[in-house]
Amino acid sequence: TDTVLVDFWAEWCGPCKMLTPVIEAISEKYQDKLKVYKLDTDKNPITAQEAQITSIPCCIIYKNGQEVHRIIGHQPQSKFESELEQFT
């Protein structure tokens, strides 16, 4: 698959922890269409800065290495999936 979802998060971030089960469910449900990665912004500050992450949680969808969409903040799974559908 050429579609990648990167979840930018941090250990201290409450909404990030709330989003974790959603990300895990998405990862399982879309495993044939999407690769899912989690990136700890505290451990990877340069990568987060290069991606221009200003608030977390922030999920970026990449297609063929190019950013195509951002989902910022905690979302219920149904809303997350409806935003994701157009890219998978």
Specify whether the CB–CB gap between 45 and 14 falls below 8 A: no
Known catalytic residue at 13: yes
Catalytic residue of the set 13, 39, 58, 84: 13
**58 assigned to active site:** no
Say how many C-beta atoms besides its own lie within 10 A of residue 64's C-beta.
8
Strand arrangement of the beta sheet that strand 58-63 belongs to: 35-40, 3-9, 58-63, 66-72
Exactly one of 6, 8, 9, 16 is catalytic; which is it?
Answer: 16
Catalytic residues: 13, 16
